[in-house]
Amino acid sequence: MTDNTGHNADNTYNAADVSAGDSTLLSACNKCTSEDIRWFDMVLSNLGCVGFEAAIANQSKIRWNRKDNREKIINLFARFAQGNMDPTAFRIALLGIARQDPHIDYNDLVSCINDTASVATNPGVGQSIPNGLQQQTNNVTPNGSTKAFTVAIPPSAMTKKQSIPSTVQEDCTLTISPSGGQFVSPQTLAISCKSKKAELHYTIDGNEPTLKSPRYTGTPLVVDRTVKLQVTAFINGNPVQSIDTLFEFNIGQVSISPATGTYHPPITVALSCATPNCEIRYTTDGTEPSESSNVYKDRFLVKSDCTIQARAFRNGSEPGPIESAIYTLQKPEWKVLEPTENEDPVRPHDISKVLDIGNGLNAVGASVRGKLHAHSGTWRDDSFAIEVEGPWTIIVVSDGAGSAAKSRVGSRLICEASMAKMKMMLHNYTIPPIGDKPSEINMRQIVDFLVGAARDSLDSIRREAAARTRQLKDFHATLLIAVHCIWQDTDFVATIQVGDGSTAKLQSDNVAKIFIEPDHGEYSAGTLFLTSNKIEQSLPTRVKFSLSPIQCLAVMTDGVSDDFFPEDQRIIDLFTRKAIPGMEGKDGESVDGVMHCIVPSADPASALLEWLKYEKRQSADDRTLVLLYRGGKQ
């Protein structure tokens, strides 16, 4: 018994319904389900003969593995078109061939048929197919008219290839995030499509996207200029959905740091703008910035009251808004307080000493209480000593650690003990003028003298700590010793150093050098002291020599040397620089190097005391400097 499609009740077909004697087709047909048949009936009735023939002939869409199968289908169609084959049998046989041969992609055959038609948007024309989504398409019928139809792939076909969705219809809704608008900074754009089959192409030049336009692969796009982004989704080479949105970019406002306010001078001003590839121009007199105003390149200093106005410019865009900052600069009101602690006073707060050594040499030293000590009402921790012993000039400088309770005592003891030891060792001592440099014996003797002075200083502190029942660290202080004599018409200098500060020389060729790297960190923070653990063993390695003509020898605590950090590069400024950067006098005047203002002075002691009171941002420590130099008042 058969149903109205010619399908037997036992799901088989008669050979006569297909083609007499064709057992292969009969076997293939028996694999088709009734739902396959209903689907194919719908395809054929809507496409018509011309459309179906075109679909079958599209070999690029069907991977024919067996040429005889392709010929069978063509022959089937010819028999059907000539009326020599029952329509139901034709449909069943055609499906059977496609299903029977595993090398023929059944779904590609279906896709081929569907691609023959063009997309139609006339709603309500297509038929509702159970268990299938719908896609509106058009095809040209034999009489040349346009007909809308609906096609759905049957469930039995979907089990053949899981990568094919359960319907030809695809939801290709496109989304752009963010969805457009006005911006001042670069935006990262993401494009998405609900269909995974869709291939997305986009443009930003105003043209409609095509398959030749850039393809969106999932990598976010970054835009920083005004563009109209257009995106089209393509399936099987056909556009199915489009979207566009406008991204407008305005030049952002310049950010000025610090903000308007009252500050201690100088302040460092920084300008920035979120808009890329723009040029910031600014003024400091309150006038409106133009394209001819100062170009911002790097942070700059402001030392007095001013109004900063800044604006960003970029070719092809309107300038950004003007931003302003008004600065009122007031010098900090440092207090000058007398210490309330009466034990171990250090008076006077500021001291100086000058020596006429002879042979055209002069020495001057000074030490001033730092602003931080004066503001907090505490004693100066720095100490120094200058003495002459025969042909030798002896200089000792020490800086007590601010965190140590009796560091000012430690620095005083170091200067006293070291000077006493060096005067004793150098009394009636000379280096014989033999050869072109001092002998090894003489050099070892000088090392012993300097190391002995350091050890005597340490012993002096140990005795004092024991007498006061205090720890050695309460007397933490640095040590710098330099001795000088004229040997063979040139300058012989020997130094030893523990801790920060610096000993430096200005040679006759105007080259400045330091004798030893100070014991401080990369950013001039932290140091060692003569009273630190295990320092005594390292003392011999800390002795350095120099035998060359010099113009000036300088020994200083870190209150001075840190203002020329890194010393190995900037110590030349201390000697010869005119208008040293970042330093100014108490009335705002520039500060020159010592060779310009101390050495030529008729009163070098007063001149050095005044020089040491220079203003420099974040510099408020005690300052001690001793100079040995040739010449004098010019």
Per-residue model confidence as pLDDT tens digits over 274-300: 888 899 999 999 999 999 999 999 999
Residue 109: pLDDT over 80: no
Q: Which helix (H) or strand (E) holds 401?
A: none
Mean of pLDDT values over 412-424 = 98
As beta bridge partners, residue 628 has: 363, 553
Q: Is 373 in a helix, a strand, or coil?
A: helix
Token pair belonging to 566: 């890194």
- What is the token pair recorded at 53? 């023939």
pLDDT in tens, 295-328: 999 999 998 899 999 999 988 788 999 999 999 9
Q: Do 96 and 31 contact (CB within 8 A), yes or no?
A: yes
Predicted confidence (pLDDT) per residue in 30-41, tens digit? 444 444 445 455
Average pLDDT score over the chain: 79
Domain spans, the chain:
15-158, 174-249, 255-329, 351-630
Q: How many other C-beta atoms can be found within 10 angstroms of the C-beta atom of residue 503?
A: 27
Contact predicate 622/381, CB 8 Å = yes
What per-residue string of b and e applies to 199-232 under the rule 16 or more CB within 10 Å gives b? bbbbbbeeeebeeebeebeeeebeebeebebbbb
Q: Listing from the earlier edge strand, what are the strands of the sheet with 187-193?
A: 174-177, 187-193, 221-223
Least confident of 246-250, 259-263, 555-559: 246-250
**With 90 as the cut, is the pLDDT of residue 523 above it?**
no
pLDDT reported for residue 318:
86
Question: Do 609 and 574 touch, CB atoms closer than 8 A?
Answer: no
SS3 610: helix
* pLDDT tens for each residue of 153-185: 333 332 222 222 333 467 889 999 998 888 878
Fold of 351-630: Phosphatase 2c; domain 1 (3.60.40)
Pairing outcome for strands 323-329 and 261-263: parallel
End-to-end CA distance of the chain: give it in Å, rounded. 135
Looking at 87-96, 311-320, 564-573, which range is the least confident one? Answer: 87-96
Burial bucket for residue 99 (CB in 10 Å: 0-12, 13-18, 19+)? buried
Topology match between the domains 174-249 and 255-329 = yes
By percentage, how much of the chain surpasses pLDDT 70?
72
Fold of the domain built from segment(s) 174-249: Immunoglobulin-like (2.60.40)
- Give the per-residue pLDDT at 149: 28
pLDDT at position 108, please? 53
Lowest mean pLDDT among 3-7, 565-569, 595-599, 600-604: 3-7
Q: Would you state the pLDDT for residue 403? A: 86
Instruction: Name the amino acid, one letter, at 433.
Output: P
Q: pLDDT tens digits for 381-390?
A: 999 999 999 9
Q: Which residues of 139-157 are buried (b: 16+ CB within 10 A; e: fewer)?
A: bbbeeeeebbbbbbbbebb
Three-class HEC string of 445-514: HHHHHHHHHHHHHHHHHHHHHHHHCCCHHHHCECEEEEEEEEECCEEEEEEEEECCCEEEEEECCCCEEE
Between 215-229, 492-506, 614-628, the lowest mean confidence (pLDDT) is in 215-229
Tell which wins on pLDDT, 616 or 40: 616
Two structure tokens written together for 545: 């020599």
Residue whose structure tokens are 């510099």:
619
Using CB atoms within 10 A of its CB, is residue 238 exposed (0-12), middle (13-18) or buried (19+)?
exposed
Q: CATH for 255-329?
A: 2.60.40
Which pLDDT score is estimated for 32? 45
Comparing 133 with 233, the larger pLDDT belongs to 233
pLDDT for 95 equals 62
Q: Which residue has the higher pLDDT, 276 or 47?
A: 276
Rounded-to-integer distance, Cα 321 and Cα 343, Å: 63
DSSP string, 135-182: -EEEEE-TTS-EEEEE----HHHHTT-TTS-S-S-----EEEES--EE
User: pLDDT tens across 69-78, in order?
Assistant: 556 666 666 6
* 106 pLDDT higher than 60: no
161 vs 565: which has the higher pLDDT: 565
Q: Let me know: does 428 contact 450? Beta carbons within 8 Å.
A: no
How far apart CA 570 and CA 387 sit, in angstroms, is 29
pLDDT level of residue 264 (50, 70, 90 thresholds)? confident
Mean pLDDT confidence for 133-143: 30
Residue 129 has pLDDT above 50, yes or no: no
Q: Which helix (H) or strand (E) holds 219?
A: none
Tell me how far CA of residue 409 lies from CA of 381, 383, 413, 517, in angstroms. Answer: 8, 9, 6, 26
pLDDT, position 314: 87
